[in-house]
Amino acid sequence: MTQECESLAKCGFFKKYQTTKDLACKGFILQYCSGPKMNDCARKKYRQEHGTPPSDDMMPSGQMIVV
Ligand code: SF4
């Protein structure tokens, strides 16, 4: 059974990085967006606390992607 985060379609991080070749990002997507840690996602917590989504560059771990 494939599970995925209910926010996938509107998540800025996922939209921006779903096709990335970056292994760390891919790992987060596998672990969080379509994996067992989706309820631990820092982006979800941020949105719940602030009422607005975080920067697209905030990873599910809460760290920012610096390019
Ligand atoms: S980053 Fe978080 S909110 Fe966005 S799709 Fe992945 S698990 Fe869901």
The pLDDT tens digits along the chain (67 residues) read 578 999 999 999 999 999 999 999 999 999 999 999 999 999 999 999 999 999 999 999 999 998 7
Place of tokens 């059974």: 1
Q: Ligand 1 mean position to 27 CA, how many Å?
A: 12
Are 59 and 42 in contact by the 8 Å Cβ rule? The answer is yes
Domains in the chain: boundaries:
1-67
| 46 contacts 58 by C-beta, under 8 angstroms | yes
Residue 3 is encoded by which pair of tokens?
Answer: 């599970």
State the alpha helices, DSSP H only, in 1-67.
Answer: 12-17, 23-28, 42-50
pTM: 0.92
Q: Give yes or no for residue 11 CB within 6 A of ligand 1.
A: yes
Residue 60 near ligand 1, beta carbon < 6 Å: yes
Distance (Å, whole) CA 21 – CA 50: 30
Structure letter (DSSP) for residue 7: T
